[in-house]
């Protein structure tokens, strides 16, 4: 890349710089705020600053990854397109790395993190650039550690895409295409064409072909709760399973109940709201009637009451990029864990 373009506008720009300019263009020329909207716009300006810093930082961290990712053998004999992995081997775009029952390997994702590939796994490098670093886990297990800004690293599975929000996690895919996500640090969004689940540290979430991402749960939940939730994800009309979930729900399990508000409807949604309101102090702006009607603003306000972060920051990260940005399967959110709650 000719760095003259960054400082003077002269010379041939790098394609990634052009993408960044497109992302940042939405923040140019904003009208002066009215006094009564100053507070809201101040938070928006802060969010925009975080976004701009993350975009530029992510671009810088992922420079040089387009020629492939460094591969190292951890055990056995992993292969790339049938050939053994040697010193200096890189996983190129469109190439597949595979491990047998005795093999393990690691991938260095530019400067943004690393991925350990477990035994019996098959992983394809789908994309590697400044705004989208993407693997496809076809089968097996990976362990990812990412220290880049949110929404730069994605892992596709047969039934959902894991969207990194600054975290560490394990992702498994079995022979049927079903997956299990377990988050050990930060947050991950599990997405399938707009069906989303947000999974925090200490929680897990399943995904299954056709059904897509399920409802997340904290792993310290009791077995009756998790077993009933698995049934409910497969058959939302299973009233017996719902009764067990609601009866077993602790205040900590409000995370699960909040997700069920958008997954269930009618009488089932009403029962979930009643239980959520019994274990969480919801703001007066959140009404039973509004939640039953599917009011998104009320559902967002209910999330804010859980103490896990504020949804207003998510909306900035979820907003689509300009047309020249390749569309990610998920437009996910800034990690709520990293976001301070607005002063009252």
Task: For residue 307, tell me if it sits in a domain.
Answer: no
- Identify the top-confidence range among 13-22, 242-251, 295-304: 242-251
Token pair 């497109």 in the structure block, residue: 22
Residue, of 44 and 157, whose pLDDT is higher: 157
* Number of separate domains in the chain: 1
How much is the average pLDDT of 206-219?
95
Residue 143 has a pLDDT of 98
Q: H helices of the chain, where? A: 4-8, 15-24, 38-61, 223-234, 239-248, 254-263, 266-279, 288-292, 296-304, 311-318
Task: For residue 19, tell me if it sits in a domain.
Answer: yes
Task: For residue 238, tell me if it sits in a domain.
Answer: no
> Residue 81 and residue 79: Cα distance in Å, rounded?
6
Task: For residue 123, tell me if it sits in a domain.
Answer: no
pLDDT above 60 for 41:
no
List of residues 6+ apart from 280 with CB closer than 8 A: 251, 254, 302, 305, 306
pLDDT above 80 for 9:
no
- pLDDT tens digits for range 107-118: 999 889 999 999
pLDDT above 50 for 46:
no
pLDDT above 70 for 65:
no
Would you say 204 and 183 are in contact if contact means Cβ atoms under 8 Å apart?
yes
CA-based nearest residue to 60, from 152, 143, 165: 152
- Which of 63-72, 156-165, 167-176 is the least confident region? 63-72
Task: For residue 124, tell me if it sits in a domain.
Answer: no
Task: For residue 55, tell me if it sits in a domain.
Answer: yes
Task: For residue 45, tell me if it sits in a domain.
Answer: yes
Task: For residue 335, tell me if it sits in a domain.
Answer: no
Residue 14 has a pLDDT of 60
Q: In terms of residue numbers, what domain contains 57?
A: 4-27+35-61
How much is the average pLDDT of 97-111?
95
């Amino acid at each position: 890349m000719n760095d003259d373009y960054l400082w003077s506008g002269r010379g041939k720009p790098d394609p990634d710089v052009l993408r960044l300019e497109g992302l940042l263009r939405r923040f140019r020329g904003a009208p002066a705020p009215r006094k009564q909207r100053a507070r809201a716009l101040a938070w928006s300006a802060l969010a925009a600053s975080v976004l701009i810093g993350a975009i530029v930082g992510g671009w810088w961290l992922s420079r040089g990854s387009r020629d492939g990712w460094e591969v190292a053998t951890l055990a056995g004999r992993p292969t790339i397109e049938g050939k053994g992995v040697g010193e200096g081997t890189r996983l190129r775009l469109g190439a597949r790395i595979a491990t047998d029952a005795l093999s393990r390997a690691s991938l260095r994702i530019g400067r943004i993190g690393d991925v350990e590939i477990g035994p019996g796994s098959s992983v394809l490098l789908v994309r590697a650039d400044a705004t989208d670093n993407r693997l496809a886990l076809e089968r097996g297990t990976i362990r990812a550690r990412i220290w880049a800004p949110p929404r730069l690293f994605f892992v596709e599975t047969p039934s959902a895409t894991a969207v990194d929000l600054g975290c560490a996690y394990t992702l498994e895919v079995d022979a049927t295409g079903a997956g299990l996500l377990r988050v050990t640090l930060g947050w991950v969004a599990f997405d399938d064409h707009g069906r989303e689940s947000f999974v925090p540290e200490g929680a897990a979430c399943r995904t299954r072909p056709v059904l897509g991402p399920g409802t997340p749960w904290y792993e310290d939940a009791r077995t009756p709760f998790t077993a009933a939730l698995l049934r409910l994800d497969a058959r939302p009309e299973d009233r017996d399973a719902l009764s067990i979930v609601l009866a077993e729900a602790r205040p900590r399990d409000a995370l699960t109940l909040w997700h069920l508000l958008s997954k269930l409807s009618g009488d089932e949604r009403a029962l979930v709201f009643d239980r959520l309101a019994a274990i969480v102090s919801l703001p007066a702006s959140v009404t039973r009637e509004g939640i039953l009607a599917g009011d998104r603003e009320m559902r967002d306000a209910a999330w804010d009451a859980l103490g896990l972060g504020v949804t207003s920051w998510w909306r900035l990260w979820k907003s689509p990029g300009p047309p020249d940005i390749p569309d990610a399967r998920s437009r996910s959110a800034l990690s709520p864990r990293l976001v301070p709650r607005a002063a009252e």
